[in-house]
């Protein structure tokens, strides 16, 4: 092996990583490479959006056919040119769906502090990573929940939804979630502390269902699904209500997105709809960790993961999100350290 190349030896093979040519002292440390062993991968609905070109979204980076897809995950550093990382460090951030990765943009990796490894490492692929931050930012930065307010969450038994509901309960809100199976509805009511929950697939009329749980209307809607549910919620919002536009998973696989017909209710009720992406809030992650870690350690937040073993299980796990197969956060184990 030449000095400028890095080699990883597993039980079955030796893999050679060609490092970027310029490793001199003058090179920008942000461009220095890190080799990692991937441990946990996060399955996220947004990854579907990287599988096609979306009109008007040229800033979206698409996946390249024939190359591993990327996403959030937890990994162990095997070797590093970068001064911020050393072999043995545990990190979370953007990595590739493969066993070992050469990360040439380690600015997208965050070191996991040893003091914060008393919780399961897979949590950094979910509640302690992007999923948790999304729930936190969407609820607190955009919805401003107050005690006694009425909160509705769609895809409530999923990764983001389960946390939004619990955060809202911590604020003393009345919280209702929708989900696609009886098992998920039971989970929301009996384990996650939601006041009410319903199976939207069993409802003929979503407007009627919402009026059943919110006779006085909805103050806050955390929208994970868009489409028909958003349309029905608009009819039920209270004056000065807030909607966090987190995601629209019901639309991601449609050639032609469904129209939303009740938008005028934003005006009638002076409702604020705010779309957001968590990418703009990475700077809040340390503050978020200070908030969430004590809650986890004290058992004040319940976190449900849906874990599958093996990289070969990853594609089915990812596409299962769009059929509602996951209960809680969908994670793929590539290796247990």
Give contact residues for ligand NDP (rule: CB under 6 A). 44-46, 131, 134, 155, 157-161, 179-181, 184, 224-225, 246-250, 276-278, 321-322, 324, 326, 330
Q: Which is nearer to ligand NDP, 44 or 219 (CB)?
A: 44
> Which residues make Cβ contacts (< 8 Å) with residue 258, sequence separation at least 6?
226, 227, 228, 250, 251
Least distance from C-beta 323 to ligand NDP, angstroms? 7
Rounded distance between C-alpha atoms, residue 52 and residue 186, angstroms = 36
How many CB atoms are located within 10 Å of the residue 18 CB? 11
Q: Which is nearer to ligand NDP, 93 or 161 (CB)?
A: 161
Rounded distance between C-alpha atoms, residue 160 and residue 85, angstroms = 30
Least distance from C-beta 20 to ligand NDP, angstroms? 30
Distances from the Cα of 336 to the Cα of 40, 100, 135, 273, angstroms: 8, 13, 27, 41
Q: Which is nearer to ligand NDP, 19 or 165 (CB)?
A: 165
Least distance from C-beta 54 to ligand NDP, angstroms? 13
Q: Which is nearer to ligand NDP, 106 or 227 (CB)?
A: 227
Least distance from C-beta 304 to ligand NDP, angstroms? 10
Least distance from C-beta 140 to ligand NDP, angstroms? 14
Q: Which is nearer to ligand NDP, 109 or 155 (CB)?
A: 155
Tokens of 257: 């997105």
Is residue 178 a contact partner of residue 198, using CB atoms and an 8 Å limit? yes
Q: Which residue has the tokens 């619990």?
A: 166
Q: Which is nearer to ligand NDP, 34 or 234 (CB)?
A: 234
Rounded distance between C-alpha atoms, residue 165 and residue 192, angstroms = 8
- Residues making up the chain, counted from first to last: 337
Least distance from C-beta 203 to ligand NDP, angstroms? 12
Q: Which is nearer to ligand NDP, 134 or 236 (CB)?
A: 134
Q: Give, for 299, the enclosing helix (H) or strand (E).
A: none
Least distance from C-beta 44 to ligand NDP, angstroms? 5
Tokens of 91: 């990190």
Tokens of 2: 């030449």
| Rg from Cα positions in the chain | 21
Q: Which residue has the tokens 């093979």?
A: 13
């Amino acid at each position: 092996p030449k000095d400028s190349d890095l080699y990883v030896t597993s039980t079955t093979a030796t893999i050679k990583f060609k490092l970027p040519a310029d490793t001199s002292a003058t090179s920008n440390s942000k461009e220095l490479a890190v080799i990692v062993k991937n441990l946990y991968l996060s399955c996220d609905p947004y990854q579907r959006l990287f599988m096609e070109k979306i009109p008007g979204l040229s800033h979206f980076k698409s996946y390249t056919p024939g190359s591993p897809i990327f996403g959030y995950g937890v990994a162990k550093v095997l070797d590093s040119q970068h001064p911020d990382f050393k072999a043995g460090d545990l990190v979370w951030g953007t990595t590739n769906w493969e066993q070992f990765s050469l990360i040439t943009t380690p600015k997208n990796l965050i070191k996991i502090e040893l003091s914060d490894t008393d919780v399961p490492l897979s949590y950094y692929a979910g509640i302690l990573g992007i999923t948790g931050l999304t729930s936190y930012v969407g609820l607190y930065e955009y919805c401003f929940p107050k005690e006694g307010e009425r909160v509705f969450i769609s895809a409530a038994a999923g990764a983001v939804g389960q946390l939004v509901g619990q955060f809202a309960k911590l604020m003393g809100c009345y919280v209702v979630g929708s989900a696609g199976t009886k098992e998920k509805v039971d989970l929301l009511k009996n384990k996650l502390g939601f006041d009410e929950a319903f199976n939207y697939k069993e409802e003929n009329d979503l407007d009627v269902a919402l009026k059943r749980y919110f006779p006085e209307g909805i103050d806050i809607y955390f929208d994970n699904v868009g489409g028909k549910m958003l349309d029905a919620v608009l009819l039920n919002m209270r004056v000065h209500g807030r909607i966090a536009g987190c995601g629209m998973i019901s639309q991601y696989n449609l050639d032609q997105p469904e129209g939303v017909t009740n938008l005028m209710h934003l005006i009638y009720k002076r409702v604020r709809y705010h779309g957001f992406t968590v990418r703009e809030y990475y700077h809040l992650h340390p503050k978020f960790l200070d908030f969430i870690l004590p809650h986890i350690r004290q058992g004040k937040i319940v976190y449900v993961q849906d874990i599958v073993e093996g990289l070969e299980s990853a594609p089915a796990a990812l596409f299962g999100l769009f059929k509602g197969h996951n209960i809680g956060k969908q994670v793929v184990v590539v290796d247990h350290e």
